[in-house]
């Protein structure tokens, strides 16, 4: 059963010269419920923009995104915020943890915009990712790998049906990158969440059963992207 | 709960600017409340203080100087009046009580005032309240070199019953001008919170005949404190006309409250300047809230974008910034009350030391309501501009890096 359905999705930005720079042109993309898919592609192809569109952070110029039966385009900004908070978990490449907050507070804050803060579950998640001893540590007191695990816990905190992960291993060394992806997949599986992960690391790609070339689904010609 | 956590974290993250900005609000609030409160309370108190008398009769001169000298023990005496003038007004059928006073000597800067026992025995300095002695004391004997010391002077100079002292000539203390007479303290007044607390009271004759004083002036007095009969409604007008218009030798300062009100009218410009300064500080404080939060918005854009990416609504981040501005204002106003207490206490201590008049910092004034409300409202309004900036923050643009 499809959790995410995308059709005729288009997004362009104005470049400094005032011309339209087409970034996204996806005819059709489907992600099944509880499935784990990796999108591969080189930098600059619009993968982050694609994830932002799915998350409702960006508004498409045209097309349709349906998540768990809800068409994003039909939703108001407020409803999109709500859907993002309750249905989508987002792991950013730069983790985007709030530096003034402890690990636990980062996770609780993510929960508070969704169904509400659940301290016990937040602590369970942080223990699950190996940070039980670091609940009150601030991000800068943690290693990069530990910070990423906080980001994973935060993304899973609202029991989302869809987890988006944008180059989550981009800042990790090879060994930790593999461990990290394994952990993300395990935690997603345990929580019944589908995973759409973006990466161009071949080792990471090899871990997934389903790999899609982003260039194949995003029909932007070379001339268009270079404009 | 979430909003307050975000506000608290942000205030803590920007602790220095929070403290500095809150202090500017405190300064504005503290200044505004103390200037306003001291102005109104001192005006009400000083125009209400009359030591139980309606008027002062003295030598020809300024009414204000006469009242300040005779009632508040400030300023020099404008001159003397003859004993016969005292007897004349004492015999006036509209006068209930006339008490002569003589000034001209001091003890380490505290004024010696010569008077009669009528001041203590017949006069009520406030309705139903007469001057009273502390335990173990007596009123002075008019024929002896005895003194009754005001409470404030007794505490400051550590004078108690049985102590002796030599007065000094003049109203300003100069150790070279010591009189040879020795006075014995026979009583200490209970605190009256009036100018009487600042004075050493001695018999009228004692001051008149102090060594070194001109013997020709020995029968003169510095002023006469006059209480009119309650049923003589027109007496004040008649005596005002008689002494001030028809005569040209004496001044009849009546009513005392109106004379004192003239003083406040004269220094009204000073109050207005202080109030204006307070308003300016309030404007600067408001601007500093705006500037400090607005300037921090650049570094916060990413944080706001993260909050939005986590599902925070635009209105949530807008409210957070607005509450942050309000919180700075509230913190500032709390400190403002402390500052008000400090400023008021210092000023009240100075006024009490100079005049004996007591101002109460805990006495409610409406400024304590409108100043905090206005400053908190202004501070919150100042938060609107940065809050709008937060509201408009582009999430995708500020979630770095973008591939």
Domain span including residue A172: 37-63+74-213
pLDDT for the residue numbered B403: 37
pLDDT for the residue numbered A74: 84
For residues A184 and A172, give the distance between their C-alpha atoms in angstroms, rounded to a whole number.
Answer: 14
In a domain, B259, yes or no: no
User: What mean pLDDT is reported for chain A?
Assistant: 89
In a domain, B68, yes or no: yes
Helix or strand or coil: residue B130?
Answer: coil
Same domain (yes/no): B221, B176: yes
Q: Which tokens belong to B21?
A: 């900005």
In a domain, B402, yes or no: no
Residue B367 confidence (pLDDT) above 90: yes
> Can you state the angle between helices A119-128 and A174-190, rounded to 10 degrees?
140
Could you report the per-residue pLDDT of B129-142, keeping only the tens digit for each? 999 999 999 999 99
Say if the Cβ atoms of B396 and A167 lie within 8 Å. no
pLDDT for the residue numbered A175: 79
The ipTM (two decimal places) reads: 0.87
Which helix or strand (DSSP H or E) is residue B103 part of? strand B95-107
In a domain, A26, yes or no: no
Q: How far is B339 from chain A, CA to nearest CA, in Å?
A: 31
At A34, the pLDDT band (50, 70, 90 cuts) reads: very high
Residue A60 confidence (pLDDT) above 90: yes
Could you report the per-residue pLDDT of A65-74, keeping only the tens digit for each? 999 999 987 8
Instruction: Compute the half-sphere exposure of residue B220: CA atoms within 13 Å on the CB side of its CA.
Output: 15
Residue B401 confidence (pLDDT) above 50: no
Same domain (yes/no): B176, B275: no
Q: Phi and psi at residue A46, in whole multiples of 5°?
A: 100, 20
How many structural domains is chain B composed of?
Answer: 2
Residue B228 confidence (pLDDT) above 90: yes
CATH number at residue A50: 3.40.50.300
Same domain (yes/no): B359, B390: yes
In a domain, A204, yes or no: yes
User: What mean pLDDT is reported for chain B?
Assistant: 91
Say if the Cβ atoms of A44 and B6 lie within 8 Å. no
**Lowest pLDDT segment from A30-34, A174-178, B328-332, B377-381:** A174-178
Inter-residue contact B181 to B212 (CB < 8 Å): no
- Which chain A residues have a beta carbon less than 8 Å from that of B397? none
Say if the Cβ atoms of A81 and B396 lie within 8 Å. no
Q: What is the mean pLDDT of residues B178-201?
A: 93
CA angle in degrees (0–180, nearest 5) for B334-B277-B375: 35
- Which chain B residues have a beta carbon less than 8 Å from that of A49? 396, 402
Residue A226 confidence (pLDDT) above 60: no
Say if the Cβ atoms of A82 and B311 lie within 8 Å. yes
Inter-residue contact B251 to B57 (CB < 8 Å): yes
Q: How far is A72 from chain B, CA to nearest CA, in Å?
A: 14
Domain span including residue B133: 55-254
Beta strands per DSSP E along B125-219? 146-149, 164-165, 168-169, 183-188, 200-203
A201–chain B Cβ distance below 8 A for any pair: no
pLDDT for the residue numbered B332: 95
pLDDT for the residue numbered A23: 92
Domain boundary at B209, B227, B254, which?
A: B254
Q: What is the mean pLDDT of residues B50-66?
A: 93
**Lowest pLDDT segment from A40-49, B241-250, B303-312, B322-331:** A40-49
Residue A225 confidence (pLDDT) above 50: no
Q: Which tokens belong to A60?
A: 């498409």
- Which chain B residues have a beta carbon less than 8 Å from that of A110? 310-311
pLDDT for the residue numbered B231: 80
Same domain (yes/no): B229, B358: no
In a domain, A8, yes or no: no
pLDDT for the residue numbered B298: 83
Same domain (yes/no): B66, B209: yes
Residue B267 confidence (pLDDT) above 60: yes
For residues B146 and B182, give the distance between their C-alpha atoms in angstroms, rounded to a whole number.
Answer: 9
A55–chain B Cβ distance below 8 A for any pair: yes
Helical ranges in B122-267 per DSSP H: 151-157, 204-208, 235-240, 256-266
Same domain (yes/no): B60, B178: yes
Could you report the per-residue pLDDT of B62-110, keeping only the tens digit for each? 999 999 999 998 888 888 999 999 999 999 999 999 999 999 899 999 9
Contacts 24+ apart (CB under 8 A), A70-75: none
Q: Phi and psi at residue B319, in whole multiples of 5°?
A: -65, -40
Inter-residue contact B365 to B36 (CB < 8 Å): yes
Helix or strand or coil: residue A2?
Answer: strand
């Amino acid at each position: 059963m499809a959790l995410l359905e995308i059709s005729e999705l288009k997004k362009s930005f104005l470049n400094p010269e005032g011309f339209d720079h087409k970034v996204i042109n996806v005819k059709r993309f489907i992600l099944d419920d509880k499935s784990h898919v990796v999108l591969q592609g080189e930098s600059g192809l619009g993968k982050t923009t694609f994830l932002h569109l799915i998350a409702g952070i960006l508004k498409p110029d045209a097309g349709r995104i349906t998540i768990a039966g809800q068409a994003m385009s039909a939703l108001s900004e407020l409803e999109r915020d709500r859907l993002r908070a309750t249905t989508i978990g987002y792991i950013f490449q730069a983790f985007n943890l709030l530096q003034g907050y402890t690990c636990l507070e980062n996770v609780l804050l993510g929960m508070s915009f969704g169904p509400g803060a659940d301290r016990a579950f937040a602590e369970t998640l942080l223990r699950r990712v190996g940070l039980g001893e670091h609940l009150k540590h601030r991000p800068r007191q943690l290693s990069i790998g530990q910070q990423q695990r906080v980001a994973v816990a935060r993304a899973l905190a609202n029991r989302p049906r869809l987890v988006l992960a944008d180059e989550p291993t981009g800042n990790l060394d090879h060994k930790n990158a593999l461990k990290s992806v394994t952990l993300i997949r395990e935690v997603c599986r345990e929580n019944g969440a589908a995973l759409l992960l973006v990466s161009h690391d071949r080792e990471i790609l090899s871990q997934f059963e389903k790999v899609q070339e982003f260039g194949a689904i995003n029909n932007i010609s070379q001339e268009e992207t270079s404009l | 709960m979430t909003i307050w956590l975000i506000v608290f974290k942000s205030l803590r993250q920007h602790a220095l600017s929070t403290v500095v900005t809150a202090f500017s609000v405190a300064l504005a609030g503290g200044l505004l409340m103390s200037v306003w409160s001291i102005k109104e309370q001192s005006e009400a108190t000083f125009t209400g203080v009359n030591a139980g008398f309606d008027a002062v009769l003295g030598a020809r001169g300024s009414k204000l100087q006469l009242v300040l000298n005779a009632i508040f023990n400030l300023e020099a005496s404008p001159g003397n009046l003859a004993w016969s003038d005292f007897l004349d007004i004492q015999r006036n059928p509209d006068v209930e009580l006339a008490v002569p006073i003589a000034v001209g000597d001091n003890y380490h800067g505290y004024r010696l005032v010569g008077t009669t026992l009528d001041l203590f025995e017949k006069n009520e300095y406030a309705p139903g309240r007469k001057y009273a002695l502390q335990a173990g004391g007596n009123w002075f004997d008019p024929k002896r070199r005895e003194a009754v010391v005001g409470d404030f002077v007794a505490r400051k100079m550590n004078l108690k019953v049985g102590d002796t002292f030599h007065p000094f000539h003049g109203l300003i203390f100069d150790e070279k001008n010591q009189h040879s007479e020795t006075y014995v303290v026979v009583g200490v007044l209970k605190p009256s919170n009036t100018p009487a607390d600042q004075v050493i009271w001695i018999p009228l004759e004692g001051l008149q005949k102090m060594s070194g004083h001109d013997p020709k002036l020995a029968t003169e007095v510095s002023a006469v404190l006059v209480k009119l009969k309650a049923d003589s409604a027109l007496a004040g007008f008649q005596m005002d006309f008689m002494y001030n218009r028809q005569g040209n030798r004496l001044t009849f300062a009546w009513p005392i409250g109106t004379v004192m009100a003239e003083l406040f009218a004269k220094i009204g410009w000073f109050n207005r300047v202080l109030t204006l300064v307070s308003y300016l500080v309030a404007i600067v404080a408001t601007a500093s809230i705006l500037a400090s939060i607005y300037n921090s918005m650049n570094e916060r854009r990413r944080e706001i974008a993260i909050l939005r990416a986590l599902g925070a609504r635009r209105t949530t981040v807008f409210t957070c910034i607005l509450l942050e501005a309000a919180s700075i204002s509230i913190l500032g106003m709390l400190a403002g009350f402390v500052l008000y207490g400090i400023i008021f206490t210092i000023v009240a201590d100075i006024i009490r030391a100079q005049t004996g008049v007591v101002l109460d910092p805990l006495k409610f004034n409406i400024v304590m309501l409108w100043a905090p409300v206005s400053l908190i409202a202004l501070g919150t309004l100042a938060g609107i501009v940065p809050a709008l900036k937060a509201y408009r923050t582009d999430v995708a643009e500020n979630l770095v890096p973008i591939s």
